Amino acid sequence: MFKKLFPVLITAGLLSACVTSPTGRSQFVFMPDAQIDQMGLQAFDNLKKQKPVSTNSQYNQLASCIATAITRETGGNWEVVVFEDQSPNAFALPGNKIGVHTGMLALVANPDQLAAVIGHEVGHVLARHGNERASQELAVSSGMSVIQAVSAPQTALGQTALGLLGIGAQYGILMPYSRVHESEADVIGMDLMAKAGFDPKQSIVLWQKMEQASQGQQPIEFMSTHPSHATRIQDLEKHIPQAMGLFQQAQAQGKQPNCN
C-alpha cells in the first residue's frame, strides 16, 4: 500500500513546490523560507568576520540612504554593510542583508546607479532565487548537508552552499545566478528603484559603465550563465517605458531620495 502511495506523495510534494515569481515565472521552491533566511544570516555573519568592513562615513551613509529608500518599497528591516573590497560588486542575501563593495561605490557616478545595483540584488532575494537554487540542489543531491555547510564557508561544501545563495564567487568559485535569474532581477530591480524615486534610465548607464570596466574580459554570452552586457542593456531598454511610469508616479508622490 505504501509503495503505491509513495509516488503520489512525492508528486504532491513537488506540485506544492511550484510557485510563481514576481514576474510570473514558474519556480520550484521547496525549502522553508525560514531555513533559507538562516543560511543567509549565517553567511553574512561569516563575511563580516572575514572581510574588512569599511569605516568610510561617506560610503556608509550613501549605501544606507539608497538601501533604505529601496527596501522601503519591499518592507522589512534590512542590514547594509560596506566591505573594503576593490572589486565592483554588491550582493543581497536571504534574511534581509545587503553588502556593497567599496569598488562598486568608486565605480558608480551617482546615487541612481547604485540604486540600480542594490535594486537588482534585492530583486534576487524577493524572487527567492536562493531558495530556488537550494531547492533544486536538495532535490538532486545531498541538499541537507549543503545547507548545514554554510557555517563552514572555507570548506568545499561550504563554498557550494554560498554559491547557491549567489555569493560563491567571493570565495574563489564560479556559481553565478542563471541567465533567467539575472534577467528577472534586472526587471525587478529597475521597478524597485523607480518606485523608490530613482531614475531607472541610470540602470542602463550603469551597465554601460560595467561593460567599460570589464575591458572586454567578460566571456561571450553562450559560454557564460550571465547575460552579456549588450543583451542586458537591450532588455532593460525594452522595460524602460514601464519603469518610467513607476518613476513618474513616485515623483508625484514626493519620493525624491536625497542620497547625494
C-alpha to C-alpha distance for 18 and 77, rounded to whole angstroms: 28
Set of cell numbers at residue 2 = 505504501
20 - beta bridge partners?
Answer: 26
Q: Measured between alpha carbons, how far is 186 from 220 in angstroms, rounded to an integer?
A: 19
Query: Which residues carry out catalysis?
Result: 121
- Please report which residue ranges of 141-228 form alpha helices under DSSP H: 143-148, 156-165, 179-195, 201-214
Q: Which helix (H) or strand (E) holds 18?
A: strand 18-20
CB 165 within 8 A of CB 94: yes
Angle in degrees, CA 78, 44, 170, rounded to 5:
120
Residues 6+ apart with CB under 8 A from 184: 21, 22, 23, 25, 123, 127, 129
Q: What is the dihedral of CA 59, 60, 66, 69, to 10 degrees?
A: -160
Locate 104 and state its grid cell: 562598486
- Cβ atoms 24, 128 nearer than 8 A: no
